[in-house]
Amino acid sequence: MTQLPDTPAASPLPDIGQITLHELWASLKAGLHDFRRAPQFGLFFSAIYVVGGFLMLWLGAGHVTWVLATSLGFPLYAPFAAVGLYEVSRRLESDQPLVWRDVLGVVWQERHRQIPWMGAIIVIYFLFWTFLAHMIFALFMGVSTMTNVMTSYDAFLTADGLTMIAVELAVGAAIAFLLFALTVVSLPLLLEKEIDFISAMLLSFRTVQENFFVMLVWAILIAVVSLIALAPLFLGLMVALPILGHATWHLYRRALYDPV
């Protein structure tokens, strides 16, 4: 196939390195350092999540259709917000000036590259999990159809209810970790390199496989910090998300390196 003149040449796939818990801790500290150096960018991109959360509560309160419709927006713009954080860390790393127009320009240009495909994959993933969660609920709680579980939580304290919660948590954790494995280094990789999103996801999955314990710790840390940050009306995410986003960039730097 003839390459178009304005089409960038494909980048070679990076090699996978071995990362340690010490490097994970160093990445987290580097993420905190980046946030302190450019808090205005971190607060801006994390505000997207917080505002989106409030919109979900406001528009979707009591209406399942609106909850689904508004929550579908998260997977679509979440990768672009993450790219913004990665771009800030990349510029800090290379001593490039942090100019709003330039940073937002990079995020805007991503619409022509591979990031939208990642957003589409995440949306499909989200829809699959929503369907599966409803199936699990129906499997265990189908006999309690006359109980309004939105106003009475007694049904969840039964044997079927507790089993359903345990299965939902186990299946949800497994599915969330799989998505984490497919995206943890593929998103920053797609920002920096000219690589197709499928190759990037496969490389990300292999990176998690070869650094399973450290990546499992990172995934658990992200889940715990994000859950705690949700408590004060999503406001904790304003600080937690940019730190985790910047840290992910530095972990990506340690996990992948260009072949010689």
**Which stretch of DSSP H or E encloses residue 67?**
helix 64-71
Q: What pLDDT is stored for residue 4 in this prediction?
A: 41
SS3 172: helix
Q: What pTM was estimated for this model as a whole?
A: 0.82
Please check whether residue 163 is in contact with residue 171, taking contact to mean a CB–CB distance below 8 angstroms.
no
Q: What pLDDT is stored for residue 165 in this prediction?
A: 82
Percent of the chain at pLDDT > 90 equals: 35
pLDDT at 52 over 50: yes
What are the angstrom distances between the C-alpha of 94 and each of 24, 30, 69, 97?
A: 21, 14, 40, 9
* Phi, psi dihedral angles at 96 (to 5 degrees): -90, 150
pLDDT at 72 over 70: no
- With vertex at residue 227, the alpha carbon angle to CA 202 and CA 150, rounded to the nearest 5 degrees, is 110
pLDDT at 67 over 60: no
Q: What pLDDT is stored for residue 53 in this prediction?
A: 65
Q: What pLDDT is stored for residue 1 in this prediction?
A: 37
pLDDT at 76 over 90: no
pLDDT digits (tens, 9 = 90+) for 129-184: 778 887 887 787 766 555 555 555 666 667 777 888 888 888 888 888 998 999 99
pLDDT at 3 over 70: no
Please check whether residue 13 is in contact with residue 192, taking contact to mean a CB–CB distance below 8 angstroms.
no
Q: What pLDDT is stored for residue 203 in this prediction?
A: 95
Residues near 191 by Cβ (< 8 Å), separated by ≥ 6? 83, 86, 87, 90, 106, 110, 115
Summary mean pLDDT of the chain = 81
CA distance 45 to 38: 12
Q: What pLDDT is stored for residue 147 in this prediction?
A: 55
**CA pseudo-torsion sign 247, 251, 127, 81:** positive
Span 234-245, average pLDDT: 87
Span 94-101, average pLDDT: 92
Name the residue among 250, 243, 207 with its Cα closest to residue 93. 250
Helix segments in 110-196, DSSP class H: 115-141, 159-183, 186-192
Span 40-56, average pLDDT: 81
Quote the tokens at residue 45. 């991109």
Comparing 121 with 34, the larger pLDDT belongs to 34
Neighbours of 144 (CB within 10 A): 17
pLDDT at 211 over 80: yes
Q: What pLDDT is stored for residue 215 in this prediction?
A: 95
Quote the tokens at residue 210. 């070869």
